[in-house]
Structure 1
């Protein structure tokens, strides 16, 4: 892989603030920093919508962070977010269903959110890869593709099992074969980690320390 520039990586970043204690002032600062860094998107909690962020993609979450919400609740949350201007929604699957091998339930959950949103926004599906076996990761990615999602995403960043790993990203990328994007998120704090994940197949990065990561790439 050719050496990535700072601009290349910035164009892949969802600059993220999902802390429960985040204030409106914090989100405003996030938007300002995102503009200064030249990143693609900001990702905020749905309660922070609508968000004025000209020139930036606005992403939010649904069923976050546990995924243990009724599918209709996730769908309603996603639809409201899109109505309030979200360009992308990152939904959390029912991780327990995936662990139990009930991939029909995972599929149904994603379909419900996709149908509630319509095609007005991109749908990213958070599978919490660190909590799943390789076989479950593959099946969740297949379910996301069948349900009409646009991306599969490794992690919420809130699960004790951990965040993104090179192994999970590579497996996810191989499974979706370029038909869906792959978002790596959770615990990415250095340029070296980001570069490894991109090399493994990540096409989007969810970062809260975007400035630190970008400083490691050449201008």
Structure 2
């Protein structure tokens, strides 16, 4: 189970999340040796302070959850989060731009965050699969590879859908070994987690990490 735990981003992104809950998340992540905690940007300093002497990384979200933030704002947000202790960045693409056929804008949006991260943090690109056609999913993944991202990620968990095995397989097929794949949204139990990994996921985003490694079923949609 330790190998599975090392693939989990232990997640708490609800807007009403309290400092106490985030610190509990950090404690659970250290106990189970999860890959990271994934929390909102305002909580990065507290999470970093709680985990700075552990192997657990601090991950935060950028342009979240809509992806419609200005590119310059996304880049600044990423830069600031990294300065405050984040070492992994999960950014939401400009979904509307992608669906409008503005591929250069989508790629430059990704590139700005990748450049802001420099070599200081991993960048995971959230393509929000539930809102995309199959061709749009393929294009988003290709653009993420071109932009120099480290991961493509299925979902925010806030758009009415989450990871599916079919989407993970599609994303893995498109990116091959060039970047990694993160499945998030709806991964609530060990069986689903293992199925996502079998389909090609290298990382799992879930608020049910503790339940998964304990052989139980979580309740959150993320």
Distance in 1 (CA, whole Å) between partners of 2:139 and 2:180 is: 16
Is the partner of 2:60 in helix, strand or coil?
A: strand
1:85, distance to aligned residue in structure 2 (A): 1.1
Distance in 1 (CA, whole Å) between partners of 2:148 and 2:82 is: 17
Which residue of the partner structure matches residue 219 of structure 2? none
Is the partner of 2:191 in helix, strand or coil?
A: helix
Distance in 1 (CA, whole Å) between partners of 2:184 and 2:177 is: 18
Which residue of the partner structure matches residue 3 of structure 1? none
Unaligned runs of 5+ in 1: 1-5
Contact 1:17 1:30 in 2 (8 A): yes
1:169 corresponds to 2:164: no
1:215, distance to aligned residue in structure 2 (A): 2.4
Off by >3 Å, runs of 4+ in structure 1: none
Contact 2:44 2:58 in 1 (8 A): no
Q: CA RMSD in A?
A: 1.2
1:206, distance to aligned residue in structure 2 (A): 0.4
Distance in 2 (CA, whole Å) between partners of 1:49 and 1:191 is: 28
Q: Which residue among 8, 25, 28 is the counterpart of 1:13? A: 8
Which residue of the partner structure matches residue 207 of structure 1? 206
Which stretch of structure 1 is more off in the superposition, 25-34 or 99-108?
Answer: 99-108
1:58 corresponds to 2:53: no
Distance in 2 (CA, whole Å) between partners of 1:49 and 1:192 is: 31
1:117, distance to aligned residue in structure 2 (A): 2.2
Distance in 2 (CA, whole Å) between partners of 1:205 and 1:91 is: 15
1:97, distance to aligned residue in structure 2 (A): 1.6
Which residue of the partner structure matches residue 128 of structure 2? 128
Q: What TM-score do the two structures reach when normalised by structure 2? A: 0.92
Contact 1:98 1:132 in 2 (8 A): no
Which residue of the partner structure matches residue 220 of structure 2? none
1:191, distance to aligned residue in structure 2 (A): 1.3
Is the partner of 2:170 in helix, strand or coil?
A: helix
Distance in 1 (CA, whole Å) between partners of 2:118 and 2:3 is: 30
Unaligned runs of 5+ in 2: 217-222
**Count of residues paired in the alignment:** 211
1:105 corresponds to 2:105: yes
Which residue of the partner structure matches residue 116 of structure 1? 116
1:119, distance to aligned residue in structure 2 (A): 1.7
Distance in 1 (CA, whole Å) between partners of 2:113 and 2:43 is: 20
Which stretch of structure 1 is more off in the superposition, 68-77 or 191-200?
Answer: 191-200
1:17-96 → structure 2 map (5 Å cutoff): 17-50=12-45, 51-52=48-49, 53=51, 54-55=53-54, 56-96=56-96
